Amino acid sequence: MAVLVIADHDGAHLRDTTLKVITAAQKLSGDIDVLVYGEASAVAAQAAAAAGVRKVLTAESAELKADIAEAVSALIVSLAGGYDAIALPATASGKNVAPRIAAALDVSIISDVIDVVAGDTFVHPIYAGNALETVKTADAKKVLTVRPTAFAPVAATGGSAAVEAVAVPAVTLKTRFVSDEKVVSDRPELGAAKVVVSGGRALGSADEFKAVLEPLADKLGAAVGASRAAVDAGYAPNDYQVGQTGKVVAPELYIAVGISGAIQHLAGMKDSKVIVAINKDPEAPIFQVADFGLVEDYKTAVPALLKALG
């Protein structure tokens, strides 16, 4: 059995998520190849250095760089013959393309895998993480998306896999890339950060969101997250949303500021090691999952926290 892992990267750096998907893949097989598509050259070397990788495949084109689903799935389907399983990270990019690959191969998709029980049996959350379903698949070939927070990364160094360019299949695309609007930030990425500071509707405006949360995040070297209410209201960009339908994070420390703790939000952060809630309502449901709760107005609590941190 061999597994093809699809790398998560930004053209310059291999993301930690890839190393976590490799860990999940190791539960299926010792033969793991990693596909780096898009802008592959710098990242391929990093993937080759990861522990436990047999071979790194690279594929480059403008469409792959733009992550156009038709192009990416055609590429992966063209390689699928050599593998028993294809594992993608459960990121927006992975979720966009994995079901397309599965349907093209006429197999089911197993979404958001958090545990590998056996070669054909997987655990994944359903109902916003309120239930965990163990499913056994009858498909010979498996297509999975893997929830990175559920697996530890393999070592980033020590490996010496060969790198090999693969042919990019010609596809007549019915999709054209128009533009990108990416949020640039010097902060750690939400999915990878050790500390996350998240803000909710209580913050009241985009300016307040920034003014209150950024100094705290800077002090803690934290990534910034948000509730859906804060994103909907325009206080924070969409990419910040933590929850059932946003990002799933599991940092060492998660600080929720002015967030009530709706189940859809909890779905994205309840596996954090330590949860802190700052909320002026002692009855807010967030306190039911918080290790440490501070019942106070954020307007006084956050400045006091900053001061105490020195």
Partner 1 sequence: MKVLVPVKRVLDYNVKVRVKSDQTGVDLANVKMAMNPFDEIAVEEAVRLKEKGTVTEIVAVSIGVAQCEAILRTALAMGADRGLLIETDQDLEPLAVAKVLKAVVAQENPDIVLMGKQAIDGDNNATGQMLSALLDWPQATFASKVEIAGSEALVTREVDGGLQTLGVQLPAVITTDLRLNEPRYASLPNIMKAKKKPLDTRALADYGVDAAARLTVVKVTEPAKRSAGIKVDSADALIANLKTAGVL
Query: Is residue 290 close enough to count as binding partner 1 by CB under 8 A?
Result: yes
Contact (CB, 8 A) for 207 and 170: no
Among positions 45-104, residues that touch partner 1 (CB under 8 A) are 66-70, 73, 91-93, 95-104
Query: Is residue 137 close enough to count as binding ligand FAD by CB under 6 A?
Result: no
Query: Is residue 229 close enough to count as binding ligand FAD by CB under 6 A?
Result: yes
Point out which residues pair with 59 in neighbouring strands. Answer: 37
Query: Is residue 281 close enough to count as binding partner 1 by CB under 8 A?
Result: no
In the bound state with ligand FAD, the residue whose beta carbon lies nearer, of 94 and 159, is 94
Which listed option, partner 1, ligand FAD, none, makes contact with residue 284 (CB within 5 to 8 Å by class)? ligand FAD
**Residue 190 DSSP SS3:** coil
Among positions 26-65, residues that touch ligand FAD (CB under 6 A) are none
Query: Is residue 272 close enough to count as binding ligand FAD by CB under 6 A?
Result: no
For residue 243, what are the contacts with CB-CB under 8 A and spacing of at least 6? 227, 228, 264, 265, 266, 267, 268, 269
Among positions 157-216, residues that touch ligand FAD (CB under 6 A) are 200-202
Contact (CB, 8 A) for 141 and 35: no
In the bound state with ligand FAD, the residue whose beta carbon lies nearer, of 127 and 177, is 127
For residue 171, what are the contacts with CB-CB under 8 A and spacing of at least 6? 63, 70, 71, 74
Query: Is residue 149 close enough to count as binding ligand FAD by CB under 6 A?
Result: no
Query: Is residue 244 close enough to count as binding ligand FAD by CB under 6 A?
Result: yes
Encoded amino acid at 242, one letter? V
Query: Is residue 246 close enough to count as binding ligand FAD by CB under 6 A?
Result: yes
Query: Is residue 279 close enough to count as binding ligand FAD by CB under 6 A?
Result: yes
Among positions 237-266, residues that touch partner 1 (CB under 8 A) are 237-239, 244-245, 252-253, 263-264
2 DSSP assignment: E
Q: Which two tokens stand for residue 282?
A: 């002692």
Please report how close the Cβ of residue 95 comes to partner 1 at its closest, in angstroms.
5
Which listed option, partner 1, ligand FAD, none, makes contact with residue 298 (CB within 5 to 8 Å by class)? ligand FAD
What is d(CA 189, CA 248) in angstroms, rounded to the nearest whole number? 12
Pick from 31, 86, 112, 236: which binds partner 1 (CB under 8 A)? Answer: 112
Among positions 126-155, residues that touch partner 1 (CB under 8 A) are 126-139
In the bound state with ligand FAD, the residue whose beta carbon lies nearer, of 32 and 284, is 284
Q: What is the 3-state secondary structure (H, E, C) of 41-54?
A: HHHHHHHHHCCCCC
**Residue 104 DSSP SS3:** helix
Query: What's the CA angle centered on 282, arms 132 and 293, to 5 degrees?
Result: 65
What is d(CA 298, CA 302) in angstroms, rounded to the nearest whole number? 5
Query: Is residue 29 close enough to count as binding partner 1 by CB under 8 A?
Result: no
In this structure, the chain runs to a length of 310
CA 118 to chain centre: 23
**Residue 253 DSSP SS3:** strand
Query: Is residue 258 close enough to count as binding ligand FAD by CB under 6 A?
Result: yes
Which listed option, partner 1, ligand FAD, none, makes contact with residue 230 (CB within 5 to 8 Å by class)? ligand FAD
What's the chain's Rg over C-alpha atoms?
A: 20
Query: Is residue 129 close enough to count as binding ligand FAD by CB under 6 A?
Result: no
The residues binding ligand FAD (CB under 6 A) are 126, 200-202, 227-230, 241-246, 258-260, 262, 264-265, 268, 278-281, 284, 297-299
